[in-house]
Structure 1
Amino acid sequence: MFEVETDDGTLYVAEDEGERGDEGPFMVVYRTPERETRYGWYCTNCESLDNAMDAMGTIICNDCGNYRKPDEWDAAHE
């Protein structure tokens, strides 16, 4: 794990937990090094924490556009 300093304090990026993105992996971010409280996602493509995830599991980096497709999707919504 490595640390990232933010306005919220120090956050911890788990390099061994992540999801594949189009431009680079998204890594899980925690508030504590013990991995007790999950904070969000870290985009390895642009080193940003500004990411959004929807209920279907899609992750999009708001800075560089790195994108993770959902695990499942409902064709009725297309």
Structure 2
Amino acid sequence: MDATTTTEGQTVYVSREEGDTGSKGPFFVVYSDEDHENRFGYLCGNCERVDNAMDTMGRIECNVCGNVRKPTEWDAAHE
């Protein structure tokens, strides 16, 4: 696991083996501890930042570079 620091100065741990495909690069799972017990969020593989947001449908968007993961849930009523 790679260690990185958030903008708030917190050390988090990136699992480059776990992740999802984004439009500009992968999103890697990030943990707040080295033991992989407390999930923190995602790291954008395009710009290497943890500044991203997830909506209720499971879509992730990086607030820095605009990398996007498609929703994991989809309801035809949203078309």
Q: CA RMSD in A?
A: 1.0
Hey, what does 1:10 align to over in structure 2?
11
Identical columns (%): 56
CA distance in 1, matches of 2:9, 2:35: 17
Hey, what does 1:68 align to over in structure 2?
69
Matches within 5 A, 1:34-53: 34-53=35-54
**Taking structure 1 as reference, are residues 8 and 37 closer, same or farther at Cα in structure 2, changes over 3 Å only?**
farther
Residue identity matched to 1:51: N
Q: Gapped runs of 5+ residues in structure 1?
A: none
CA distance in 2, matches of 1:11, 1:58: 22
Whether 1:20 and 2:21 are equivalent positions in the alignment is yes
CA distance in 1, matches of 2:73, 2:10: 34
TM-superposed deviation, 1:8? 4.3
> TM-score under structure 1 normalisation?
0.92
CA distance in 2, matches of 1:5, 1:72: 30
CA distance in 1, matches of 2:66, 2:42: 14
